[in-house]
Chain A
Amino acid sequence: MKTKNFLYSQKTAPYIFALPFILSFLIFWVYPLVSAFIMSFQDIGAITVDWVGFKNYGKLLKDKVFHTAMINSFEYMVFTCALLIPFPMLYAVLMDGNLVKAKGVWKALLYLPALTSVVISGTLFRLMFSEYKTGQMNVLLTMLGLPAIKWLKTKWTSEIALLMLCCWRWTGVNTLYFMSGLKSIDKSLYESADIDGATGWQKFKYITIPLIKPTTIYVLTISIYAGLAMFLESFMLWAGNDSPKNIGLTIVGYLYKRGIQKDDMGYACTVGVVLLLIALVINFIQLWLNGSFKKEER
């Protein structure tokens, strides 16, 4: 009788239905987070676990490789945000208007790269940007009469390769986000703007951009996180976690290197906690600047 009451109670039902999520949230999210936080204060050896206080954090301050990784991730994040928001927005607007023919084809073409695996595309880009004369990019350069470049051995050329891989892969996805955002804008606004004699640019500036802001904020937030957490692209481009002078090392790459490759979980957790803090701070600032914390205007 009691179980029956329990199961049919209006109060418990929501919790029971939410239970799968709550459980997976606790087990796969809260527990690792708390445990990583604790481990970041420990030196975890083969058999022994020592409490070392802030030693790992102190080491992180002096660790030049970590600084390089942080700068790399940060630069990548900034560049991807700068490229992956304006352009997809532009494409979405173009495809929403009447200027473009065969929209379905363009949509499919833009979206197609997102369906490939990073592993395969990373490998392809590695071959394309190979330092030999036979690599596609060097063939192009030779055709233009320029000397071949060791693409993946210097900082800025490898940055180009990484950004190209990233844009090729994600432009379609972001375009899709913006297109769905555009669909929610009331068409009558544009009509009344037309009647008032607004130009295309004015419509874009005063109607599209403000009304698409929620989508922009969402895309920006995930782009910041994705940029900071990038790992696989660089891992595949250099066929591993080692690149000349660490030009391809990212924060997550460094975390993986420390935790898995060097079996130093304590220090790796410190790196992870710092990454979390950085991502949180940047996103809070960004959301605050965008006014997301203000009360909804009604």
Chain B
Amino acid sequence: MKKKLLSTLLCGVLAASMLTGCGEVETSDDTGSEAVEESADDTAEEAEETESADATEESSEVEPDAVTTEGDPNGTHMEMWSFVEAHNTFYAKMLEKWNEENPDRTIEITFTTYPYGDMHQKLLMSLQTGEGAPDICDVEMGQVPNVYEGLDTWLYPLDEAMSPYADDMLASRLAAYQGSDGQQYGAPFHVGATVMYYNMARLEEAGITQEDVDAVVTWDDYTALGEKYLEAIGNEEGKYFTSVDTGGTDWLWIAMAEYGDDWTGGFDGEANVQLDSVKNMLTMQQEWLNSGFAEVSPDGHIDLEAGFQNILDGNIVSFPKAMWYMSRFINYMPEEEGNWYITKCPVFEEGQNCSVGIGGTGTVVTQQSVDTALAADFLCYAKMSPEGETMIWNDLGFDVCNTSLWSDDSFAHDESNQYNTFFRNYPYDVLNDISDQIGTIMTVKISPTINEYVCNTTLNEVLEEGMDVDEALQELQDAVDLEQ
């Protein structure tokens, strides 16, 4: 009997040691989770608008950065994930308002913030297996094609819940978060409209006035203005008018939107990257680099530490970027207050559209939610109602999609909002000016492939090595064709 006990015990120990062995395998994978923490900092800094191209920080271990539970403990309990803590803070504030206004439909939400890569990976896994997904989840633009691929099997369409606000929302922005079946799956934070940022303080030192800047309509005008500036500062070494990106596709998106092109071809079309718009932009940038008009952005694009430093050093005095870049000024370049002027982007030919929506977060409600309709109602209230939009503008500094607010004086000219006072003009005045000129480039299944190849290879070939534009685009097209 004793022996039997002993052998059972031994077996137990063996089994336990085996299991701890497994556990150790996981923890020895720690290198992974350190990668997460490392990259978490990056992604948190990059806030939400990491384009798919630079949103590469991924890892295998999942360790939430922050978990909080807010709302009415007696209400319906839900789970919500995001990759930016500021988003969750915003939702928590909106949750309080929702519970006040809807005492019969109160909610309690546990908010979890994960690093960028982990969150999307975990979400995809849980959607695929049909288990463990949160009720509501943020999905970054670059990951939209992966997550929205499951259509209404995975996600709950928001069309009904957003109907009270839909008319005021910018249609082109909503379209960016629709599935291939035409249903609305994501709620947007912002337009992400591209505009031109000018360092007016430095331009004025070179004798260029705001009127001169306003007079710029085409890229030719822009080039002429820049040459005037560079001449005025005596073609100083290390100083340029702008910087072009090898690690981001913003410039190319602007070019496509101006010509009304879209290299993805939409949901049904074939992707075609050999577009005149893209060629014109790349050829122009090559000329700029050759003539010393522009430099290649340090580290590849301007939304990084090196880019901020480059701006602070006055190495470049203008660049096109989405409206959400305003928050980078507030957070990383506060000493630039009062120096910068925002206006619309130049175009290739007069009369073209001058802007395109870039980046974004399409928050979704999953079919696994305990109460899909309630979750959708809350989400649309938080992200689309005037109350929600006001908070988005004040707290997060995004150019909101609810167009009815754009011309609302108490909103767009509110002097207590730091974004309204930081720049030489009111950001929403610019937005109002271009409201009917904001194009959309679709984000579909092929998009990550195009973005990745462009940022890793094509732009490096064209801008760093001076390769022929047609040749580089042919190579890109071949790579894209392999996937479709």
Which residues of A lie under 8 Å from residue B76 when comparing CB positions?
Answer: none
Known interface pairs A242-B56, A256-B58; A24-B22 also in contact (CB < 8 Å): yes
**Those of A206-254 within 8 Å (CB) of chain B:** 232, 235-236, 239-246
Assess whether B31 is in contact with A232, with CB atoms less than 8 Å apart: yes
Assess whether B482 is in contact with A46, with CB atoms less than 8 Å apart: no
Assess whether A263 is in contact with B124, with CB atoms less than 8 Å apart: yes
Closest 5 CB pairs of A and B: A240-B56, A20-B18, A46-B149, A46-B150, A119-B34
| 4 further interface pairs, Cβ-Cβ under 8 Å (given A20-B21, A117-B31) | A24-B18, A45-B149, A239-B57, A240-B56
How would residues 116 to 159 of chain B score, 1 for a CB under 8 Å from any chain A CB and 0 otherwise?
01000100100110000000000000000010011101100000
Cα separation A123 to B41 with both chains bound (whole Å): 14
| Interface flag for B227 (CB, 8 Å) | no
- Across the two chains, which residue of chain A brings its CB closest to B465? A245
Cα separation A114 to B133 with both chains bound (whole Å): 39
| Interface flag for B281 (CB, 8 Å) | no
Which residues of A lie under 8 Å from residue B149 when comparing CB positions?
Answer: 45-47, 263
Shortest CB distance B62–A (Å): 13
**Those of B51-77 within 8 Å (CB) of chain A:** 53-54, 56-58, 60
Number of interface residues of B (CB under 8 A): 50
User: What interface size band does chain A fall in?
Assistant: 35 or more
Counting chain B CB atoms within 10 Å of each CB, which of A8, A24, A261 scores highest? A261
> Contacting B457 at CB < 8 Å: which of A131, A132, A232, A245?
A245
A-B contact pairs, 23 of them (CB 8 A): A24-B22, A28-B22, A46-B127, A46-B150, A46-B153, A47-B153, A47-B154, A64-B479, A117-B31, A117-B34, A119-B34, A119-B38, A132-B298, A153-B460, A235-B35, A240-B57, A241-B56, A242-B54, A242-B452, A244-B246, A245-B461, A246-B456, A246-B457
| Interface flag for A19 (CB, 8 Å) | yes
Which residues of A lie under 8 Å from residue B127 when comparing CB positions?
Answer: 46
How would residues 254 to 290 of chain A score, 1 for a CB under 8 Å from any chain B CB and 0 otherwise?
0010001111000000000000000000000000000
Assess whether A16 is in contact with B11, with CB atoms less than 8 Å apart: yes
Which residues of A lie under 8 Å from residue B452 when comparing CB positions?
Answer: 242
Which residues of B lie under 8 Å from residue A235 when comparing CB positions?
Answer: 35
| Interface flag for A93 (CB, 8 Å) | no
**Those of A156-170 within 8 Å (CB) of chain B:** none
Known interface pairs A20-B17, A24-B22, A242-B56; A119-B121 also in contact (CB < 8 Å): no
Which residues of B lie under 8 Å from residue A153 when comparing CB positions?
Answer: 460, 464
Which residues of B lie under 8 Å from residue A123 when comparing CB positions?
Answer: 38
How would residues 280 to 317 of chain B score, 1 for a CB under 8 Å from any chain A CB and 0 otherwise?
00000000000000000010000000100000000000
Which residues of A lie under 8 Å from residue B4 when comparing CB positions?
Answer: 3-4, 7
Cα separation A197 to B408 with both chains bound (whole Å): 100
**Those of B1-52 within 8 Å (CB) of chain A:** 3-4, 7, 11, 14-15, 17-18, 21-22, 30-31, 34-35, 38-39, 42
| Interface flag for A94 (CB, 8 Å) | no
**Those of B431-452 within 8 Å (CB) of chain A:** 448-449, 452
Known interface pairs A117-B31, A239-B42, A261-B56; A244-B14 also in contact (CB < 8 Å): no
Known interface pairs A16-B11, A20-B18; A120-B461 also in contact (CB < 8 Å): no
> Contacting B34 at CB < 8 Å: which of A17, A62, A120?
A120
| Interface flag for A189 (CB, 8 Å) | no
Assess whether B153 is in contact with A119, with CB atoms less than 8 Å apart: no
Which residues of B lie under 8 Å from residue A246 when comparing CB positions?
Answer: 456-457
Which residues of B lie under 8 Å from residue A47 when comparing CB positions?
Answer: 149-151, 153-154
